[in-house]
Structure 1
Amino acid sequence: MAHKSHRQKALQAQLEAQPTLSLVSQKSKKPTPAKVVEQSMDIDDDDVVISNSTPATAEASTSASGAASGSGFAPLPQSQSNGVLKGEFRRIPIPPHRMTPLKKEWVNLYTPMVDMLGLQVRMNTQRRAVEIKTSGHTVDSGAIQKGADFVKAFSLGFDVNDALALLRLDDLYLDSFEIKDVKTLHGDHLSRAIGRIAGEGGKVKFSIENASRTRIVLADTHIHILGSVQNIKIARDAIVSLILGSPPGKVYAHLKMVGARMKQRF
């Protein structure tokens, strides 16, 4: 019995010692971790708020962008999708010697620009210029540039039907240069160079146009070429060789060879 009572006392002492140790440990832990726990709770709350806000913003951005492109920008509204500037305006000056042909061919000039491009066109006789402006009927973003090139081609001396190709095709351009850009000539030498380019009755000029599929205008010492980039280069090379003194027969042979190559290519 004495043994059992001693064992019971030992167990009772252990049971009484455990709560006292736990209380001491809790009291010892209370001063410092209280603030730490509060700070950790604050941080956790902030983290929860941030994590809750980021998906919302992501969903909002995705919903706002809709069918956004890979760059991340939102698509343009329907009103700006065509890219036409409604207030765009151009003024093309007309040389004095082309004002009379402009008045004669005015109906043939403004009709295709209004019908095909939807532009507003008027002739300003005081400024000696043609003014072009976009309107609500303008659909193509490059319409005003095409109209300006069309009027400029006519002012340089091209026929209306030839200049009209600038409105119908996209790969036609104007190239202008002077004889002095190739070689400095004066007096009779300059006159003979112009005669070699034109030929008798304009035969050389017509043969260059037919071989290179371009249109050429000789305005004194200025030369204007209308056509595609490749064709303009062929015509310009032929004219440069004539300016430098090559005989027309040699230029004809070179143009025939180039024309045969062009037919094989296409």
Structure 2
Amino acid sequence: MYKSSPQFREIPVPRHRFSPLLKEWKKIYEPLVKHLNLQVRMNLKAKRVELRTSKYTTDLGSIQKAADFVKAFMLGFNVDDAIAILRVDDLYIDSFDIKDVKTLEGDHLSRAIGRIAGKNGKVKFAIENASKTRVVLADTSIHILGSFQNIKIARDAIVSLILGSPPGKVNANLAIVSSRMKQRF
């Protein structure tokens, strides 16, 4: 236990994530209260999740981990994927917009998003499995959850898809990179 004044974090809830938050609240609430010993409150009027350390909080970094966990959920990650942030130390979220890579509009933008997702999500799943990351496509924003090195692998694959590489070529490159990763460990 530590004796400093309580720390406080507020995470805004976007309008489109409010319903999933209500549905998954118990899964979000329990690890924060039971394992990190934080005080958690959903402020319905202000539409935000409020976190505060309590006198039982033992780790000073737990409030930041909790804030990152809730932010990951707000970005669109599954609760089970986001909960990994609480358990594993070296997980990060990298977010970027498709227009940061290349200025695309109209049908060109739609085709780029389609190349990233693939038919029935196959390309996205291939990127996730090869790089050991989780990817969320939210309109024109892309969010990647994983370790620093794995995020770079996934980001390089996604950028090449945005720039127009065919998914088959990107899959082949991912297979090469993942086989090199397996040889290292």
The bucket for the TM-score relative to the shorter chain is over 0.9
| Matches of 1:258 and 1:137, distance apart in 2 | 45
1:87, distance to aligned residue in structure 2 (A): 1.4
| Matches of 1:256 and 1:142, distance apart in 2 | 37
In structure 2, stretches of 5+ residues that fail to align are none
State yes or no: 1:253 paired with 2:172: yes
Q: Which residue of 2 aligns with 1:240?
A: 159
Residue 96 of structure 2, aligned match among 154, 163, 177: 177
Q: Which residue of 1 aligns with 2:48?
A: 129
Structure 2-normalised TM-score?
0.98
Structure 1-normalised TM-score?
0.68
Q: Is the 8 A contact 1:121 1:131 kept in 2?
A: yes
Residue 229 of structure 1, aligned match among 148, 157, 166: 148
1:86, distance to aligned residue in structure 2 (A): 3.5
Q: Is the 8 A contact 1:86 1:136 kept in 2?
A: no
User: Structure 1: which 4+ aligned runs deviate by more than 4 Å?
Assistant: none
| Matches of 1:144 and 1:85, distance apart in 2 | 13
Residue 140 of structure 1, aligned match among 50, 59, 65: 59
In structure 1, stretches of 5+ residues that fail to align are 1-78
Please give the root-mean-square deviation of Cα atoms over the aligned residues, in Å. 1.0
Q: Which residue of 2 aligns with 1:107?
A: 26
Larger relative contact order (CA 8 Å, sep ≥ 6): 2
| Matches of 1:252 and 1:147, distance apart in 2 | 34
SS across alignment from 1:171: coil
Letter of the aligned partner of 1:235 in structure 2? A
| Matches of 1:142 and 1:134, distance apart in 2 | 10
- Cα deviation code 1:221-265 (max 9, x no counterpart): 000000000000000000000000001111011100100011011
| Matches of 2:174 and 2:76, distance apart in 1 | 25
| Matches of 1:101 and 1:256, distance apart in 2 | 34
Structure (1 or 2) with the greater helix fraction: 1
Structure (1 or 2) with the greater strand fraction: 2
1:52-201 to structure 2, matched below 5 A, reads 85-201=4-120
The alignment of Structure 1 onto Structure 2 pairs a total of residues equal to 185
| Matches of 1:231 and 1:116, distance apart in 2 | 27
